[in-house]
């Protein structure tokens, strides 16, 4: 398709036309703008966003194609308390989700959306989650009155005509409606109707609340569909480890929000790992389906990164820094007088003066942070120097290992391996993690976050565990399962493991275990690396004693852990697979 005039409708798909007409009738926009994903359109919309003050053009010499956005002050993260799974029964959504009946929620939302786009433009955003031609790929349409959302969706998904091509004359697409309203937390609802493959999001224009392809479609609706169809939609990064000999091993890892997925997916091995490379397939979401050869194959449904900015620098994550040098939208970082961006933990000294994420004057003497802790960059994945060449392969990549990990100051060792798949499912099901700034809530408090999916599972978490258990029979060669914790601290509060690039040492053991090359000790938790064999080469100020402390199993900590797990299991008991109850018993007996 080639639009003569930007924004005009150029599809004959009846289902799309009918639905857009219905929603336009409800929202009453002044204008409906049909996006095609072209460069010309991007230029036009960007200029409009700048003219309206929604985007600020950054210093184009330093940051070509980059723009700056400030969200509303009360709209800076996901809001789990406003997020609903609207299945017919409360039972289906389960006790870990907010639930409302579709018969109540649809009218409530329609009331809020009625006439909500008067004086505004409704953008029709067609997009693909997944590479064109993949059996896992899904078509979505997002109707939104936020130009920032349109430009972000353009980075984060394969947006535009490619979606019409994939859809053809069909009607199998996700229907997403997003209205900013007055960006008011009191009128903020992120609602999912899995039976209807629909999403309605109102009152927020930030991240996962508003970019409907990401958490809403790819995870909440995705997980619901995946269970019915026998695959997995997960909050996981995907990476490929390449050995000096060219052998590639693909690994998926689930860490909760702001717990290190982007960093791990972009890892650069320390110098002595000569010839080893880590390639990024994805940094947030994995869709995984058993292949004909009995292995599990994964695609990254996204096309960009919506990554945490603070703490990112050329030491901690050089590939992320490279990824955000061009064609990037920065949100809620600080803005310097020469129209550059700054954040806590960036390379170099802080600016003498800048505007903070709220637009207020900031100096190094200020008490508050210049960048919001959940400030983010949206960058196309093609900017990543280590983007895996397989990322567009419709078959996906074969996953050899799944790694679970949380942010835990105690209890959890650096690395251990599950005895088998079911034990691995148990380990994932009882994950705990300290809460982060990625969602509104009490930062630092440990909560259960099974498989890093607590905020993203579109149905009953007990049934979700059952689905994971059942997946075993669909795979002749299931991935090996591991658990990591980069965040354990000593008595003085210092991290017991330096993390970041050094995580390659852990990853190497994981890969070697998958390929049958590394020894392991049997412990009460699972298999652990032999302390005297674990690769610490080139770590000048790190001792084996410290590694031993990072790996220690403290029974008192585990008794407490088992009680904390129990709370979640009691909540889910009616749907909990007995295999997990047995695993819990076995762990208790081994401690
Ligand atoms: P979402 O995009 O919210 O799903 O999060 P993510 O899992 O991609 O998080 P990300 O990689 O952006 O993690 C961000 C936070 O984790 C930052 O505070 C990092 O400094 C910290 N982090 C990441 N890796 C490590 C590590 O190996 N060690 C330590 N100590 N901190 C880490
Ligand atoms: C997360 O919170 O896990 C994110 C950011 O990846 S958001 O897209 O806002 O959900
Ligand atoms: Mn995430």
pLDDT tens-digit readout, 197-224: 999 999 999 999 999 999 999 999 999 9
The best mutation among 77, 259, 321, 550 to test binding of ligand 1, ranked by most ligand atoms within 8 Å of the C-beta, falls on 259
Determine the 3-state secondary structure of 138 from DSSP: strand
Name residue 123's beta-bridge partners. 33, 144
Q: How far apart are the first and last CA of the chain?
A: 64
- Judge contact between 307 and 341, C-beta under 8 A: no
Provide the 8-state DSSP code for 219.
Answer: I
514 is catalytic: no
CB within 8 A of 548, min separation 6: which ones? Answer: 531
- Residue of higher predicted confidence among 48 and 440: 48
- Judge contact between 417 and 513, C-beta under 8 A: yes
Ligand 3 mean position, distance from CA 237 (Å): 9
Cα distances from 59 to residues 71, 331, 358, 380, 434, in angstroms, run 20, 15, 19, 19, 37
Judged against a pLDDT cut of 70, whether residue 2 lies above it is answered with no
Check if 208 has its Cβ closer than 6 Å to any atom of ligand 2: yes
Determine the 3-state secondary structure of 65 from DSSP: coil
Q: pLDDT confidence of 4, banded at 50, 70, 90?
A: low
The best mutation among 258, 312, 488 to test binding of ligand 1, ranked by most ligand atoms within 8 Å of the C-beta, falls on 258
Question: How far apart are the C-alpha atoms of 449 and 548, rounded to whole Å?
Answer: 27
Q: pLDDT confidence of 567, banded at 50, 70, 90?
A: very high
Residue for token pair 């997002």: 142
pLDDT of residue 1: 46
Check if 207 has its Cβ closer than 6 Å to any atom of ligand 2: yes
pLDDT tens-digit readout, 331-377: 999 999 999 999 999 999 999 999 999 999 999 999 999 999 999 99
Q: What is the mean pLDDT of the chain?
A: 97
Provide mean pLDDT across the span 455-482: 98
Check if 441 has its Cβ closer than 6 Å to any atom of ligand 1: no
Report percent pLDDT > 90 for the chain: 98
pLDDT of residue 310: 98
Cα distances from 407 to residues 208, 218, 472, 526, in angstroms, run 21, 24, 27, 19
Check if 542 has its Cβ closer than 6 Å to any atom of ligand 1: no
pLDDT tens-digit readout, 537-551: 999 999 999 999 999
pLDDT tens-digit readout, 101-112: 999 999 999 999
pLDDT tens-digit readout, 142-200: 999 999 999 999 999 999 999 999 999 999 999 999 999 999 999 999 999 999 999 99
What value, to the nearest 5°, has the Cα angle with vertex 147 and ends 145 and 153? Answer: 100
Q: Rg for the chain (alpha carbons), in Å? A: 23
Question: How far apart are the C-alpha atoms of 591 and 589, rounded to whole Å?
Answer: 6
Provide mean pLDDT across the span 462-476: 98
Question: How far apart are the C-alpha atoms of 485 and 177, rounded to whole Å?
Answer: 38
pLDDT of residue 441: 86
Ligand 3 mean position, distance from CA 211 (Å): 12
Ligand 3 mean position, distance from CA 438 (Å): 8
Among the listed residues 110, 106, 82, the one whose alpha carbon sits nearest the alpha carbon of residue 203:
82
Ligand 2 mean position, distance from CA 259 (Å): 11
Question: How far apart are the C-alpha atoms of 215 and 178, rounded to whole Å?
Answer: 14
Cα distances from 559 to residues 208, 408, 568, in angstroms, run 36, 16, 15
Report percent pLDDT > 70 for the chain: 99
355: which 2 tokens? 């505007």
What value, to the nearest 5°, has the Cα angle with vertex 362 and ends 357 and 368? Answer: 70
Positive or negative, the Cα torsion across 160, 33, 380, 500?
negative
Provide the 8-state DSSP code for 220.
Answer: I
């Amino acid at each position: 398709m080639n639009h003569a005039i930007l924004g005009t409708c150029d599809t004959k798909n009846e289902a799309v036309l009918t639905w857009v007409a219905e929603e336009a009738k409800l929202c009453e926009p002044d204008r409906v703008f049909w996006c095609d994903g072209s460069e010309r359109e991007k230029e036009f919309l960007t200029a409009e966003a700048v003219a309206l003050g929604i985007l600020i053009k950054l210093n184009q010499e330093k940051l070509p194609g980059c723009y700056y956005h400030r969200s509303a002050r009360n709209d800076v993260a996901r809001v789990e308390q406003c997020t609903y799974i609207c299945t017919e029964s409360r039972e289906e959504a389960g006790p870990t989700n907010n639930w409302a009946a579709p018969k109540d929620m649809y009218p409530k939302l329609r009331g809020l959306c009625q006439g909500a786009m008067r004086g505004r433009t409704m953008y029709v955003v067609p997009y693909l989650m997944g590479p064109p031609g993949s059996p896992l790929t899904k078509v979505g349409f997002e109707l939104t009155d936020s130009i920032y959302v349109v430009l972000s969706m353009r980075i984060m998904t394969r947006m535009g005509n490619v979606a019409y091509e994939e859809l053809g004359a069909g009607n199998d697409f996700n229907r997403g409606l997003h209205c900013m309203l007055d960006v008011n937390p009191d009128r903020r609802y992120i609602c999912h109707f899995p039976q209807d493959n629909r999403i309605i999001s109102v009152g927020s224009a930030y991240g996962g609340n508003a970019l409907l392809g990401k958490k809403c479609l790819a995870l909440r609706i995705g997980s619901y569909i995946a269970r019915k169809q026998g695959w997995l939609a997960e909050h996981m990064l995907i990476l490929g480890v390449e050995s000096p000999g060219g052998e590639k091993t693909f690994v998926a890892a689930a860490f909760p929000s702001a717990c290190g997925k982007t960093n791990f997916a972009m890892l650069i091995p320390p110098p002595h790992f000569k010839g080893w490379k880590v390639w990024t397939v994805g940094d947030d979401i994995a869709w995984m389906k058993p292949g004909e050869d009995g292995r599990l194959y994964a695609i990254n449904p996204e096309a960009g990164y919506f990554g945490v900015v603070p703490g990112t620098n050329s030491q901690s994550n050089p590939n992320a820094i490279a990824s955000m040098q061009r064609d990037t939208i920065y949100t809620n970082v600080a803005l310097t007088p020469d129209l550059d961006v700054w954040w806590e933990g960036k390379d170099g000294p802080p600016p003498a003066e800048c505007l903070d994420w709220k637009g207020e004057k900031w100096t190094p003497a200020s008490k508050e942070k210049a960048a919001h802790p959940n400030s983010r960059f949206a960058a196309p994945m093609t900017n990543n120097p280590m983007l895996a060449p397989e990322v567009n392969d419709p078959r996906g990549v074969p996953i050899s290992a799944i790694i679970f990990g949380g942010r835990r100051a105690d209890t959890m060792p650096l690395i251990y391996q599950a005895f088998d798949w079911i034990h691995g499912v148990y380990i994932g099901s009882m994950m705990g993690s300290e809460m982060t700034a990625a969602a509104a809530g009490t930062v630092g408090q440990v909560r259960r976050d099974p498989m890093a999916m607590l905020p993203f599972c579109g149905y009953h978490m007990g049934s979700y565990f059952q689905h994971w258990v059942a997946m075993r029979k669909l795979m002749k060669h299931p991935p090996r399962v591991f658990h990591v914790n980069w965040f354990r601290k000593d008595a003085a509060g210092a991290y017991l493991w330096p993390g970041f690039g050094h995580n390659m040492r852990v990853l190497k053991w994981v890969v070697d275990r998958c390929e049958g090359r590394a020894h392991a000790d049997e412990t009460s938790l699972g298999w652990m690396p032999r302390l005297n064999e674990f690769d610490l080469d080139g770590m000048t100020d790190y001792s084996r004693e410290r590694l031993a402390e990072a790996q220690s199993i403290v029974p008192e900590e585990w008794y407490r852990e088992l009680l904390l797990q129990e709370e979640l299991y009691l909540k889910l008991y009616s749907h909990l697979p007995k295999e997990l109850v047995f695993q819990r018993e076995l762990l208790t007996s081994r401690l």
